[in-house]
Chains A and B, each alone.
Chain A
Amino acid sequence: MTKKFKLSDYTLYLMLLPGLALIIIFSYIPMAGLAIGFQQFNPTKGLFGSDYVGLENFKYVYSLDDTMTVLRNTVSIAVMKMAAGLVVPIVVALLLNEVGKVFFRKGVQTLIYLPHFLSWVILSGILMDVLSPSDGIVNQFISFLGFKPIFFLGTPSWFQPMLVISDVWKEFGFNTIVYLAALTGINPNLYEAAQMDGAGRWKQTWHITMPGILPIIILLSTLSLGNVLNAGFDQVFNLYSPVVYSTGDIIDTYVYRLGMINFQFGVATAVGFFKSVVSFILISTSYFLAYRFANYRIF
């Protein structure tokens, strides 16, 4: 599996350079900014002139009443989004793959990935209209069935499910494409062989298709674990309101209200740092698990 470093491959290594440079410039150098998390940061004094306050910012964040609520919301929203965001595209991809008519398949594919290109700013406006308890189409349907209208975006217990559903709706089409691409990589001979052995559609899916796309599934889920604490600032910020803070407020929106509005760069950085550390632990763990149980390695 492992290859030895060979000087004759130098062209390949050269091709690595631009990418490495980008990573160093945009991912490693900015890490020095993490120091702000330990400072009483004053923009006029800058990174080197500001006073260090130790763990003050972290303590401050910890001392706030809402911190635990916000953390809980972040994790639960993110986990639900990850689970739904993983399952739905796979199912849709498998179903689409069974469709024979290319024209129909392409059409559906195009339609479902369109929302991916709309920003949450626009979508939030659409969602508010669609979900409106007085004249939204969803509630008109609910009323038509004889139920009471539901105020989806103004009821704390409904807010999280709405976040998950709308996020999945926006993104599943795009992820479906990735799985469809993986599906085309499976050797058709396998299916023919399976048919000869008498395997039906279901058996073929289970024993050929699923193992075929398993690496991609593991790769995407491993990567998404690293994002576990990113519950989606854009989406939440555009949809939430004080009435659903109890279930909708996430770390990013909270920090925005706390920090950015009042120049509390130190506090904001501290929280961002904390998030990164947790995310790092999670992605390392998931990578280790993926290796142990699925024998899957990225590197």
Chain B
Amino acid sequence: MKKRTTKLTLAASLAAVLVLSACGNNADNGQNGNANQAGNAGTSNTNTASGDTASGNANTAGEDVNPLGKYDPPINLSTFRCMNDSETYPAGDSIDNNVWYRAYADELGIKLTNKWSVSNTQCEEKTNLSIVSGDLPDFFPVSAKQLKNLVDAGMVEDMTEVFDKYASPLVKEAYAANNGVAMTAATFDGKLMAVPGTTRGFNSVDMVWLREDWRKKLNLPEPKTMDDLNAIIKAFVEQDPDGDGKKDTVGLTMAKNYYDGYAGLAGFFNAFHAYPYTSASTSMWIKDKDGNLVYGGIQPEMKPALQALQNLYKEGAIDPQFVVYDGAKAAEAENQGKAGVHFGYFWNIGWPIDGLAKKNDPSIEWRPYPIPSVDAQPAKVQVPDPTAYWNFAVKKGVKNPEAIVKMMNLFFEHIFSDNADPDKYHSGTVGDVSYGYFDYAAVQGEHPEKNQIAFGKVSEAMKAGDTSTLNPEQKKYYDALKAYKDGDLSQWGADRTWGPEGSFSVLGNYKDNKLIQVNEFLGAPTATMATKGSILMDLEAKMITKIILGDSVDSFDQYVQTWKQSGGDQITKEVNDWYQKNKK
């Protein structure tokens, strides 16, 4: 279990690096995104900030409504931290003393101390313990589930007014994106009960990663339809794509947990217009023709998808050992050059595919493709959880609840604004070690559409050869792309992410063509979902495994019956009650 989690954590942290390194300039979020507009927005921002800082110093801390005002005298705040095991710090720094904590003290007058910090793997347990023992710091990160518990027990501060008053324009703009969906899960009865943190949203949708060099070698067409993709998967097993004369390759890489992003199956089901559970939550709800919410995984669209998987398995295109492999174990085949197709996320070029691999073996070529469709109707990818999956709860009775909002402001200011200093606050490489400084920040936020904006700007600049519209960070990506074009193969990973054939182009394709199926249920887990959710996911996993291995596809109908009786009907009712109440 530990190995698995560490690897997943590693993967997640890589993902986070990519996501956040993808975060571009927010100020030029306009349609035309020209330099002027960006400049204006940036300047006005700076003006407010500096102007208010001056007045903030004059005022007492309590009356200071400046988003970045400094507390004088400084205040003390406590929190706790959950960090990746693989986190590294520059010499002399630690999670208790780093570039962000110093910024809190110097710029905001907030002296932040960590009550404790643990590895991400123990975070949930340790947080629960703190909640149970009532030993809470001033603010702390919580999951949607924990937040619900805290709200029910009346242990957290209502942040509605504070957020409204203190959030900087930049932060407000980021949280207003997507109809303000980021706030939904932190909102209870119309009250904002926590500061929403990072959102996963659009960054965790599936795409198909292919060994492009194998495809070309075998003269196969690009996967425009599911038939194309099936043909590619089969050919990768039967036609010896690695050319060693042995039948030792795997077609489709799969792992036993269908809900994990890497080597999961969400994308495969999406190709058939089916939307089962995902790794993010025990829910995935779509609208039926009457406008009611129904669970995606019990819809008839699942059956042809299951049949297709069974066929692939029968034809030997899936390694039977997938049933015992977790994601990390399944990834080995790919790392050894023995597998060529998987469904996964945009960051898979960082893990399990090695973004530097091309330098050692220029013949390797991976390329991400959008999920093809099984019929004439284009496939939509499912977005399980566009809301914040991590919130910052503020303990009830804290004297300066606005301080947390200010820390969020500071995060946006240093990372996303026009005055951002990514080399200092976001990430950097010293010698052979790269550091993700952003991860040291105790309060982190994100603009849900950052990556897309930056991708658009970088591609435009590449076409025009004009870098004047890019902010310092976008310029970094531009330079990497340019270097790759000029033959620096160590920038392959950047090209596969930001390049015209990169993963963000795939996400852009989904977005431009509106090929996104959002989970319609955005509330906190309902009562029955909380008690029975994992049993139902268990049932579904068993059903899918058995059908792939050869059970009749009709056993799906049995599953649907059991699902309904084992709490599914009750959950459906609760979800629809929520929907009626919160429909926009």
Contacts and interface: CB of A to CB of B under 8 A. Distances in A.
B149 A43 contact: yes
Nearest to A60: B531
A128 B325 contact: yes
A45 B145 CA distance: 15
A128 B150 contact: no
Given A128-B329, A153-B324, A42 B535 contact: no
Contacts of A241: 256, 323-324, 545
Given A128-B329, A241-B545, A263-B530, A257 B538 contact: yes
A186 B150 CA distance: 63
Interface string B513-542: 000000000000000001101110010011
B460 to A, nearest CB: 45
B280 interface: no
Contact of A46 (B132, B538, B541): B132
Given A121-B2, A238-B1, A257 B323 contact: no
Interface residues of A, number: 34
A267 B544 CA distance: 27
A43 B256 contact: no
Contact of B324 (A46, A128, A234): A128
Interface string B136-165: 000000000100011011010000000000
Interface string A98-126: 00000000000000000000010110010
Contacts of A245: 542
Given A44-B153, A245-B542, A262-B530, A132 B1 contact: no
A154 B321 CA distance: 7
Contacts of A121: 1-4
B332 to A, nearest CB: 9
Given A151-B321, A239-B324, A258 B149 contact: no
B335 interface: no
Interface residues of B, number: 37
Nearest to B530: A262
Interface string B436-471: 000000000000000000000000000000000000
Contacts of A122: 3
A73 B416 CA distance: 55
Chain B residues touching A, majority SS: helix
A44 B131 contact: yes
Nearest to A237: B1
A162 to B, nearest CB: 11
Contact of A243 (B4, B538, B545): B545
A184 interface: no
Contacts of B319: 134
B533 A243 contact: no
Nearest to A240: B324
Contacts of B534: 257-258, 261-262
B570 to A, nearest CB: 14
15 contacts: A42-B149, A43-B132, A64-B535, A121-B4, A151-B321, A241-B256, A241-B545, A242-B538, A242-B541, A242-B542, A242-B545, A243-B324, A243-B545, A243-B549, A263-B145
Given A46-B132, A153-B324, A257-B534, 7 more contacts: A128-B324, A238-B1, A242-B323, A242-B545, A243-B546, A262-B534, A264-B530
Top 6 nearest A-B pairs (CB, nearest first) are A44-B153, A243-B323, A242-B545, A241-B256, A43-B132, A242-B541
